């Protein structure tokens, strides 16, 4: 059975979607951007600050579902410019110390609210 995951520790969806959906032992986390969950303001002073906020939002949703980064199976990173790859990757790597998940990173024409980074994950709940 499908279970909707929601936490106030991550930004509320800005469209008709859930922060995450659990189905069986699998968690599908919607793409997170650098919205601060309490203020609703974008955290984009630097690419590092933006990426850290994205990862913290993912962490909050994973936690609300009873999971964490060690259970992430796959990530998708969307970048507004592939030139950001190495800087985003260096921050992302801090969250996956051992046995990192499968991943793809793609440059896209545009992201919500003009952000530079959006990341979604699929995780295990087992």
- Domains within the chain, CATH numbers bracketed: 2-124 (3.30.1330.40)
22 - beta bridge partners?
Answer: 3, 27
What local confidence, expressed as pLDDT, does residue 14 receive?
Answer: 87
17 and 1 Cβ atoms separated by less than 8 Å: no
Distance CA 28, CA 37 (A): 19
pTM of the model as a whole: 0.97
- Report the percentage of the chain scoring pLDDT > 70: 100
Q: Tell me the average pLDDT of the chain.
A: 97
Grade residue 22 by pLDDT with cuts at 50, 70 and 90: very high
- Which position has the token pair 């509320």? 12
Distance CA 50, CA 26 (A): 27
pLDDT tens column, 69-111: 999 999 999 999 999 999 999 999 999 989 999 999 999 999 9
Phi-psi category of residue 28: left, alpha or beta, with phi > 0 → left and psi -120 to 50 → alpha: beta
Is pLDDT at 10 greater than 90 in this prediction?
A: yes
Q: How many CB atoms lie within 10 A of CB 7?
A: 17
15 and 109 Cβ atoms separated by less than 8 Å: no
């Amino acid at each position: 059975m499908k279970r909707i995951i929601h936490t106030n520790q991550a930004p509320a969806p800005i469209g008709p979607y859930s922060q995450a959906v659990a189905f069986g032992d699998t968690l599908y986390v919607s793409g997170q951007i650098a919205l601060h969950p309490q203020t609703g303001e974008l955290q984009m002073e630097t690419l590092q600050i933006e990426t850290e906020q994205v990862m913290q939002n993912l962490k909050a949703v994973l936690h609300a579902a009873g999971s964490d980064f060690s259970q992430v199976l796959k990530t998708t990173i969307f970048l507004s410019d592939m030139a950001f790859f190495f800087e985003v990757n260096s921050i992302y790597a801090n969250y996956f110390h051992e046995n990192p998940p499968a991943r793809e990173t793609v440059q896209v024409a545009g992201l919500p609210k003009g952000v530079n980074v959006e990341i979604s994950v699929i995780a295990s709940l087992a």
